[in-house]
Amino acid sequence: MSDDALSNLLHEDRRFPPPADLAANANVTAETYAAADADFEGFWAEQAKRLSWGTEPTKTLDWSNAPFATWYEDGTLNAAYNCLDRHVEAGNGDKVAFHFVGEPGDTRDITYAELTKEVCQAANALTDLGVEAGDRVAIYLPMIPEAVVAMLACARIGAPHTVVFGGFSADALATRIKDCGVEVVITADGGYRRGSAAALKPAVDEALTECPDVNHVLVIKRTEQETAMTEGRDVWWHDAVGNASPEHTPQNFPAEQPLYIMYTSGSTGQPKGILHTTAGYLVGCAYTHWAAFDLKDDDVFWTAADIGWVTGHSYLVYGPLANGATSVMYEGTPDTPHKGRWWEIIEKYKVTILYCAPTAIRTFMKWGADIPAKFDLSSLRVLGSVGEPINPEAYVWYRTNIGGDKVPVVDTWWQTETGMHMISPMPGVTEGKPGAAMKAVPGVVVDVVNDEGKPVGNGHGGYLVVTKPWPAMLRTIWGDDQRFKDTYWSRFEGVYFAGDGAKKDEDGDIWVLGRVDDVMNVSGHRMSTTEIESALVSHERVAEAAVVGATDETTGQAIVAFVILRAGEGETADDAETIVQTLRNHVAKEISPIAKPRQIMVVEELPKTRSGKIMRRLLRDIAENRELGDVTTLQDSSVMNLIKDNLESSKED
Ligand code: PRX
């Protein structure tokens, strides 16, 4: 981030104070910050009271074996009981947990009592399939209620789940299944996407050719499409779960029982299995969901994110359910069958809190404000943003056109690793600034440091770090403690390095600027440049590849690849074009359609330093059509012209 860009940001002088009625009844007040500052552990011991425990913890944090933390270590609890049964026992069995909206227009309201019953049945069915506490279960599903049921059924029996985004390929699924030793997979025949039924089960079948340890696949019927079942291995959900007993006594597990593993991209080709455990994670999600969204009993909350990402885990499943909230769950895309679909849903269910990614907001901006203007959005009272930096224009558009020029926007910064919000405005306290994530949430301590790890002053930029442990923190990378230490805890002594760049403005408020490593953020999805490079070079026609994230108006960043073909390939223009298509499809197959490069440029050489390192910054400049920097350290500077020429002619519409 250049100083110019910083000063542009700092020229943002619009301020939005909290609405008076929200401030008057706010969950979080200035005192909350004071309480957390005065007694860090006491604050988090207090937050633990949000949960129902089998055995109440007497300890809060143990950091003596840093960076391996334990939280509430001697407590015991059941995560599913906390998300379900206790609300039913408290008399809220008839409260709606989810208003489910399928893409084709089918809807289903699921109460806490109904969800509890289904989870008990699914827990019994999993036990019958031989799943025991500690066993890993993979969940590969569209956005349907059974995805929540499956997660909570695993949690109920102490079996960590690993949810793999339904848009990932068979290869990506296989990699994850093998990495954490999954024995049971839960999937569906298919799901609805953009108006048609897309099959899912064939990808599982393909993945399992490489995964001999998987002995059962539970298959949910969603689309009713023809689905091949392997005898002895595959079981229909409606048979196994439908016929199971709805009685299930939840067992209390230790606070540090693994709850789930969520894979995310790092700066190498191998995805990292981020491990979250039970009590600290649930405390962190319940507290932040209550705090950042100012959650009240009668709110209708909507996280418009897929369950396959951490946002879906923390703020569609665990946070809202631990808080006994009512949520919307939507299966499909925002433009099916029309571009007002989200606003129609908000109007229908009187949604009060909407939580989504800036990419969605920028897309809606492009479609035009007249679309949401046709719907009654007056129920909204808090708007959230997550996953990528929100540019001030998008923030103000969101506030104005969706929030009727009065609803506060909370820009929440966090990560798969942090499990919960870390930096965010508090809607009843913070005077919002468009584009700024503002301050750490009460109970979280962050800083921005320079290369030497020294805090920067106001008006300066550096690396974002978290200086104290927090309850929902990742405990390790599954099976790789060393990588956990190296990635997060060795860049700066004793503090968590998030991999993001940030600035403190003149008031000391934080602006998160994006990744400083080889990780891209495309539409709020995290992707590693190396992972896509490996996918490209795994194709027989590719000799070498370099991938960069280029700034993109809608998706934040877009993937641009530079490839060198093996000799004899791509010699004619026609051939080069075919190869580009082939390679884009190859990446989609290896990883996911979301990893498809926006552009692939066939080049003859890649710019390298004398020591042979690819000059990514330069490639990024080219991909963004910026003025080139100093190229004198290039082995051969003529390559740059070549690359540039190629870029002009190979841009995709
Ligand atoms: O670069 C930051 C960006 O998303 C990364 C985390 O990605 P992931 O683990 O997939 O989690 C996304 C959902 C929490 C961060 O390292 N990021 C996330 N939220 C913001 C953000 N960047 C700027 N502002 C945010 N509010």
Distance 516 CA to ligand 1 centre (A): 12
Q: Ligand 1 centroid to 569 CA: how many Å?
A: 39
Report which protein residue has its CA nearest ligand 1's atom 6. Answer: 415
- Residue 414 CA to ligand 1 center (angstroms) comes to 5
Using a 6 Å CB cutoff, which residues line ligand 1? Answer: 264, 310-311, 386-389, 411-416, 437, 498-500, 512, 514-515, 521, 526
Read off the pLDDT of each residue in 411-427 and give the average, rounded to a whole number: 98
Report how far ligand 1's centroid is from the alpha carbon of 550 (Å).
Answer: 17
Q: What is the mean pLDDT of residues 371-375?
A: 98
Q: Where are the chain's structural domains?
A: 112-251, 539-650
In angstroms, the CA 411 to CA 430 distance is: 11
- Residue whose Cα lies nearest atom 5 of ligand 1: it is 415
| 219 Cα–ligand 1 center, Å | 32
Q: Which atom of ligand 1 is nearest to the CA of 423?
A: 26
Per DSSP, the residues of 348-373 read HHT--EEEE-HHHHHHHHHH-THHHH
Q: Is 618 helix (H, G, I), strand (E, B) or coil?
A: helix
Q: 490 Cβ partners below 8 Å, 6+ apart? A: 497
Could you give the CA distance from residue 365 to residue 346 in angstroms, rounded to a whole number? 17
* 579: CB partners within 8 A, 6+ apart: 541, 565, 569, 570, 602
Contact of 169 with 592, CB cutoff 8 Å: yes
Atom of ligand 1 at shortest range from CA of 437: 26
The fold adopted by the segment(s) 539-650 is GMP Synthetase; Chain A, domain 3 (3.30.300)
Q: pLDDT digits over 100-122, tens only?
A: 999 999 999 999 999 999 999 99
List the residue whose alpha carbon is closest to atom 13 of ligand 1. Answer: 387
Residue 457, amino acid: G
Pocket test for ligand 1, best of 272, 415, 441 (most atoms within 8 A of CB): 415
Nearest Cα residue to 160 out of 187, 133, 179, 140:
133
pLDDT tens digits, one per residue of 637-653: 555 666 666 555 554 43
Give tens-digit pLDDT for 542-570. Answer: 999 999 999 999 999 999 999 999 877 55
144 CA distance to ligand 1 middle (Å):
25
Atom index in ligand 1 nearest the CA of residue 414 equals 14
Give the predicted TM-score (pTM) of the model. 0.92
**Class of the CATH domain delimited by 112-251:** alpha beta
What's the alpha-carbon Rg for the chain, to the nearest Å? 24
**Mean pLDDT for the stretch of residues 227-244:** 98
The atom of ligand 1 lying closest to the CA of 525 is 10
Angle at 364 between CA 359 and CA 369, to 5 degrees: 150
CA distance 176 to 188: 18
User: Nearest residue CA, atom 18 of ligand 1?
Assistant: 387
pLDDT confidence bin for 626, thresholds 50/70/90 = low
Tell me the pLDDT tens digit for each residue of 40-54.
999 999 999 999 999
pLDDT tens sequence across 480-513? 999 999 999 999 999 999 999 999 999 999 999 9
pLDDT at 50: 98
